[in-house]
Structure 1
Amino acid sequence: MSACSGPDTDEHHATDGRTSRWDENAGAPEASAFMNVTVPEGATEVKGAVQINPQEDIYLLSFVTGERNAEGIAADLRPEEPLNTKKVDFPPDGELFEHLGLAEPQTLKGARSAGACPPCVKDDRRRKVQWIDIYVQALGDDRARVYLKAF
């Protein structure tokens, strides 16, 4: 048997390497810690999850807060461009936020988005994070839902 034997070896089978699963013991606190994002005091509908993947795990965090807080969180993540409502021409990548009982942010009319690359901007607070997708959906009454997806 060669070192590159097929996926039938016990070691390879235990960590199949081809499937994703939700970490049942991880939620908003773990996602918040990974992204180094503090959920604002008074935020509601705080939800989070961690999807374990063969390549890289995906951390999701969402909450409702004041629009000013939402803007501040987005700015603190140091996105490459300011939040904007540019049309997204690609479908959502899976049903990640659906796992939290939320619509996928790419499908929300008027949701503003940006992307942040912590290593690109030398954000040492987020050394372990390769990328963060940021979405802010205005809800009215000075409230906004923040969606964060990081890996």
Structure 2
Amino acid sequence: MRIQVPEGSTEVKGAVRVQPRENVYLLSFVTGERTAESMVEDLRPDSPLTVAGESSSSLSGKGFEHLGLTAPQEIKGVRTASACPPCVGDSRRRHIQGIEIHVGEAKGQRVRLYLTAY
């Protein structure tokens, strides 16, 4: 994904889910709210983070469960967005077709950022 995990982040977990057509890259960590929002902005999402509806679908759920994390779509009040690096000319991530972004509450005043790229 070519994402630098911010200094001071905790509970960093990542994996690559190998699939026949394309690999799916998973990254999750806990950080401060402002840091997460800054990172989301840098990914140039199609629209701002919004609270996911109950019927929200996601590519990432099973992968994050495999990492011992609650699937992001199971977190009440999780905010989501998506980004298309090629659509906005983000040359840093030209090998990525799309990124799913989930931001859910964590302990204290921190949030867990879930990123799924394919």
Deviations, residues 48-75 of structure 1 (Å, cap 9, x unaligned):
0001110000000000001111101111
When residues 139 and 62 of structure 1 are mapped into structure 2, their CA distance, relative to the original with a 3 A threshold, is: same
Q: Which has the higher contact order (CA 8 A, sep 6+)?
A: 2
Query: 1:128 Cα shift?
Result: 0.3
Which consecutive residues of structure 2, in runs of 5 or more, have no partner in the other structure? none
Q: Which residue of 1 aligns with 2:88?
A: 121
Given that residues 82 and 100 in structure 2 are in contact (C-alpha distance below 8 angstroms), is that contact kept between their aligned partners in structure 1? yes
**Given the alignment, which residue of 13, 26, 47 partners 1:81?**
47
Distance 2:13 2:63 in 1: 12
CA RMSD, aligned part only?
1.4
Aligned length, in residue pairs: 117
Distance 1:118 1:50, change over 3 A: same
* Cα separation, 1, equivalents of 2:52 and 2:65: 22
Q: TM-score, normalised by structure 1?
A: 0.73
8 Å Cα contact 1:105/1:147 also seen in 2: yes
Cα distance between partner residues in 2 of 1:81 and 1:92:
16
Q: CA deviation at 1:89?
A: 1.2
Q: Return the TM-score normalized by structure 2.
A: 0.93
2:11–2:30 CA contact under 8 A, matched in 1: yes
Structure 1 range deviating more: 67-76 or 84-93? 84-93
Q: Distance in 2 between matches of 1:98 and 1:138?
A: 17
Greater shift, 110-119 or 139-148, is seen at 139-148
1:119 aligned counterpart, secondary structure: helix
Percent identical residues: 55
CA–CA distance in structure 2, aligned partners of residues 124 and 92 of structure 1: 25
* 1:107 positional shift: 1.4
Q: Which runs of 5+ in 1 are unaligned?
A: 1-34
